[in-house]
Structure 1
Amino acid sequence: METVKVGITETIRVLLEEKKFNTLRDILVTLKPYDIATIFEELQDEKTPLLFRILPKELAAETFVEMDDETQKLLIHGFSDTELKEVVDELFIDDVVDLVEEMPANVVKRILKQADKDTRKTVNELLKYPEDSAGSIMTTEYIVLRPEMTAEQSIKRIRRTGVDKETIYICYVTDDNSKLIGITSVKDLLLSDDDVIVSEIMEENVICVNTLDDQEKVAQMFSNYNFLALPVVDTENRLVGIVTIDDAIDVLQEEATEDIEKMAAVMPSDKPYMKTSVFGIYKKRIPWLLVLMLSATFTSAIISHFESALASVIVLSSFIPMITGTGGNAGSQASVSVIRALSLGEIKFCNAVKVLWKEFRVSILCGVTLAAANFIKLMIFDLNGKENALFIGLVVSLTLIGTIIMAKLIGSFLPMVAHKIGVDPAVMASPLITTICDALSLLIYFGIATTILHI
């Protein structure tokens, strides 16, 4: 598939250089907006605005939405005011808001200048909602019906106003005060008799969200209920917008990317990897690396404190990497599982005791299994014929059991605490958990060693 796209891009590049615009148009109209946007992103030259002008108006707007920020910015700089107005007029209101949020101030000024008065007012209202809230991702373009309307009247309204709406399949029923009282679908309206009124066929038990609800929670509801759109109401239950499935998918992708970056100790970025500069990547990574490096000094301090013990039984030092590595891995397993369960709403802080009890039992099974396997390996290969081999093997094996229990309990508990106090649980993932477990596993190791070996 990638080979095909590369071939099309090169073909379009050649046709553009040869100024065969009719042929270019014939090719482009057969492609999907996303594929055309990908071609524009690969071209990225001064002729891109010329290629964009070839597209039919509606296809051009749909393609523009699919482009990345840099390509959009390049096109806008190449647009005349008239061309910019045509693009803005074709965009849905939530796409205009996204565009305004991502563009620099001088570009935003041009965009808003070319938008009509109503669009500017709506954009400014949507921009007032907190970032990452339902209000910030909703659109105000939807079908509104009244409960006293007949099915025939409703269909006529959809035909008359639906062309400018982002979705028409789901229709929202409000009273005279714009309060949401029900929903119905085009299917229900089409299959009903013409004289049936909307209040008789609408669903009154409406699942909706508030404008200030977190966008990740909103996006998750699409997965839970298989929605195509979700109504958004204010504090007085007045319908103010809807969130559509395409925006929900974007949110889920953004949140998943953000969580992955946090779990890898990288500050979240809003730019694709290939479009982020070396210095930009450096700024995202260095803060966590500094924090983790400084926190790792506790590990060094613990080893220094037990330096005399290590000197008396030098072989103990050779097992430190294995013990700390196993503890970090065990903690990461638990933390990732719990973080995922928290994000899906499968567990809450009130389930902490049950989660810890489950992880404790898992850690016992894992710890005993690894300790047994390790003890056999030590006796046959590593400590065969050495002084105090049995006791050293016992120290290492018991440490493994204690380390795994500790790591899994910490790895499962810290994300739940973070979630409870309003911190992203992903922060409590692999690197941080590993650093904590390294220090504690060494304390367990030397504690058991000094007790059994009397050093």
Structure 2
Amino acid sequence: MADLVESNDLTDMRLWLAEHPPYEIADELARMDSHLAIIPFRLLDKDRELEVFEELDPVHQQEILMGLRDGAFRELLEEMDPDDRARLIGEAPAKIATRALAGLSPAERKMTAALLGYPEGSVGRYMTPETVILHRDLTIARALEVVRAKGADAENIYTLPVVDDGRRLAGTVQLGDLVVSEPDTLIKDVVDVFVPRVQASEPAEDAARLMQQANLVALPVVDSEERFVGILTFDDAIELIEAADSEDIARQSGASPVAGHYVAASVLRLARARSVWLLLLIVASTLTVNVMQGFEATLEEVTALALFVPMLTGTGGNVGSQSATAIVRALAVGEVRLRDLPKVAWKESRVGVVLGIMLAAIALLIGSFLVGVDIAVAVAMSVIAICIWAAVIGSTMPLLARRVGVDPAVVSAPLVSTLVDATGLLIYFTIARAVLGI
């Protein structure tokens, strides 16, 4: 596609667009510079234009909108699903957000403003209010009539919310259950009253994880008084989980998340996302230098100890990083909670013992051959102690970070590795001095 755009081959561009599904077109547009991506986008039919636009990330949607005339700008936003539109406007610069809201019809503006009224990152920003709501006292026959009458305007009709007279959520019913039930059966006799629900102010990622855990196609959202306000659909849940996992991966590697497509991101943008954490880590690594200076006399007396510093710091960093990554993942999927901190620390300390003994045996064998038994014993003992310490630090830091309201991924692999490097050297030189009698 990029070659066709650069050669301005409009005929072949139209053919290419007609032969590819919306998600593939969106991926190609996301790879291009914004001033080029707008060219094939304008060649799309009206129906496919919206489908492709909704496949784009908000950052690329904003770039496309900036290249559209007022009429096309308003028409595109008017046709979007309310939750997708609210997400776009919520992340857009003030100039685009103001222009977008001003161009909407009163009904769509009211709906969008209601979603934007929920806290940023809450499930209220991602839910759709366009649903078919059934009253618990309806018959199956009447409920199906309601679905036929209103279903075309709803984003999801497979999971249908059921409410009482006060619009309080009574549960949900599946469309399949309506189809196979007797027409005169009442909705309240087939409703699932145990279906999970979340409040609109709760974190969107937690709601998405709940959907994944409970295998739900849609999750009902209620207000503080249990009144039904919307539904979180599975496609939005998948996007939320993907975004959260991408952010965790970036932070675990010591970088800030970069919105948008990697191919379209500039070198400076990628460098900026990584530089802040690298600067912090290089400052933190000066702890290692200070430790080395503190034991300079020990190194002068037994210079062979310096041979094993890279091995010990590398081993400690790797063990700590493995523990941190495992706990960050367990936190994300709900396998570990804050109250599990003592249990996690105890389990990981024992894992550290097992790993330490395995690695110490190898260190003892190699060290005895290279520098003698005395130093090899000191190194082997240090390996065990460092593995235990690294496993405990790597597993507890993410949990402590969650406790104080910091993203656990921020204090994961790179930071844990840097901290274990410095403290591991303290352990090493302390054990070496005791074993060697320095």
- TM-score w.r.t. length of structure 2: 0.93
Q: 1:7-22, aligned counterparts within 5 Å?
A: 17=9, 19=11
Give SS of 1:298's match. Answer: helix
Match status 1:404 vs 2:393 = no
Q: Is the counterpart of residue 194 in structure 1 residue 183 in structure 2? A: yes
User: Which residue pairs with 1:386 in the alignment?
Assistant: none
Query: Which whole-Å CA distance do the structure 1 matches of 2:328 and 2:26 have between them?
Result: 35
Displacement of 1:167: 0.7
Quick one: structure 1 residues 96 and 293, their matched pair in 2 at CA, closer, same or farther if it must change by over 3 Å? Answer: same
Tell me how far apart the structure 2 counterparts of residues 329 and 108 of structure 1 sit (CA, whole Å): 45
The 10-residue stretch of structure 1 (36-45 or 358-367) with the greater mean CA deviation from structure 2:
36-45
Q: Which amino acid in 2 is paired with 1:264?
A: S
How far does residue 190 in structure 1 lie from its aligned partner after superposition? 1.2
- CA RMSD across the alignment: 2.3
User: Percent of aligned positions with the same letter in both sequences?
Assistant: 35
Deviation for aligned residue 1:20: 7.5
Question: In structure 1, what is the equivalent of residue 426 of structure 2?
Answer: 443
Matched with 1:139 is: 128
The offset of 1:78, in angstroms, is: 4.1
The answer on 1:207 being equivalent to 2:190 is no
Residue 161 of structure 2 corresponds to residue 161 of structure 1: no
Distance 2:33 2:266 in 1: 17
- What SS does the corresponding residue of 1:143 show, helix, strand or coil? coil
Show the 5 A alignment for 1:349-368.
349-368=338-357
Please name the residue that 2:100 is paired with: 111
1:315 deviation in Å?
1.0
Q: Which amino acid aligns with 1:285?
A: R
**Number of corresponding residues:** 438
Instruction: Give 1:125 shift.
Output: 1.7
Tell me which residue corresponds to 1:423: 406
Q: Deviations over 1:166-215 (max 9, x none)?
A: 11111111123211112111111111222222112211223100111111
- The one of 117, 127, 133 aligned to 1:128: 117
Match of 2:323 in 1: 334
Asked if 2 retains the 8 angstrom alpha-carbon contact of 1:415 and 1:426, the reply is yes
Distance across 2 between alignment mates of 1:452 and 1:203: 67
Q: Describe the superposition over 1:306-339 as per-residue Cα deviations: whole angstroms up to 9, x where unpaired.
A: 1111101111111111111111111111111112
Paired residues of 1:181 and 1:206 also in contact (CA < 8 A):
no
2:221 is matched with which residue? 232
TM superposition shift of 1:74: 4.5
Distance 1:20 1:337 in 2: 49
Contact 2:363 2:380 survives alignment (8 Å): yes
| Offset from partner CA, 1:200-239 (integer Å, 9 cap, x none) | 2211223100111111111111211111110111100011
Q: CA deviation at 1:46?
A: 6.1
**Cross-structure match for 1:3:** none
Deviation at 1:452, TM superposition (A): 1.9
Q: How far apart in 1 are the matches of 2:35 and 2:20?
A: 22
In structure 2, runs of 5+ residues without a counterpart are: none
Within a 5 Å distance, the mapping from 1:141-290 to structure 2 comes to: 141-290=130-279
**Structure 1 residues 142-165: Cα deviation after superposition (integer angstroms, max 9, x where no partner):** 110112222222111111111111
Structure 1 residues 30 and 198: alpha-carbon distance in aligned structure 2, compared to 1, 3 A threshold? farther
Mapped to 2, the partners of 1:222 and 1:411 lie a distance apart of: 29
Structure-2 separation of matches of 1:46 and 1:424: 36
2:352, 2:391 within 8 Å by CA — same for their partners in 1?
yes
CA distance 1:288–1:186, change in 2 (3 Å): same
Query: 2: CA distance between counterparts of 1:249 and 1:268?
Result: 18
SS in 1 for 2:321: helix
Report the Cα offset of residue 12 of structure 1.
8.2
Q: Specify every segment of 5 or more residues in structure 1 that has no aligned partner in the other structure, as ranges.
A: 1-5, 384-388
Counterpart contact for 1:62–1:91, Cα < 8 Å: no
Quick one: distance in 2 between partners of 1:317 and 1:49? Answer: 59
Counterpart secondary structure, 1:311: helix
CA contact (8 A) 1:331 1:411 kept: yes
Q: Which residue number in structure 2 is paired with residue 297 of structure 1?
A: 286
Partner Cα distance (1:43, 1:297) in 2: 41
Query: 2:91 — aligned with what?
Result: 102
Distance 1:112 1:59 in 2: 23
Give the AA of the match of 2:243: E
Q: Which has the larger radius of gyration?
A: 1
| CA shift in 2, pair 1:78/1:341, >3 Å | closer
Output the amino acid matched with 1:205: F
Moved more, 209-218 or 192-201: 192-201
Displacement after TM superposition at 1:116 (Å): 0.7
Q: Distance in 2 between matches of 1:42 and 1:426?
A: 28
Contact preservation (8 Å) 1:76, 1:84? yes
Q: Is the 8 A contact 1:58 1:90 kept in 2?
A: no
Task: Name the CA distance, whole Å, in 1 between partners of 2:411 and 2:37.
Answer: 44
Q: Is the 8 A contact 1:147 1:174 kept in 2?
A: yes
- 1:48-63 to structure 2, matched below 5 A, reads 51-63=40-52
Separation in 1, partners of 2:12, 2:356: 70
- C-alpha distance in structure 1 between counterparts of 2:426 and 2:32, whole Å: 58
Q: Aligned partners of 1:192 and 1:253: how far apart in 2?
A: 37
User: CA offsets, 1:342-379, max 9 Å, x none?
Assistant: 21111222222222222222212211111111111122
Q: Give the 3-state SS of the residue equivalent to 1:275 in structure 2.
A: coil
Q: Does 1:432 align with 2:429?
A: no
Q: What is the rounded CA distance, in whole Å, between the counterparts of 1:269 and 1:78 in structure 2?
A: 22
Which whole-Å deviations, capped at 9, do the CAs of 1:268-310 have from their partners, x for residues lacking one? 3323333333333333222222222222222111111111111
Structure 1 Cα separation of the partners of residues 12 and 298 of structure 2: 81
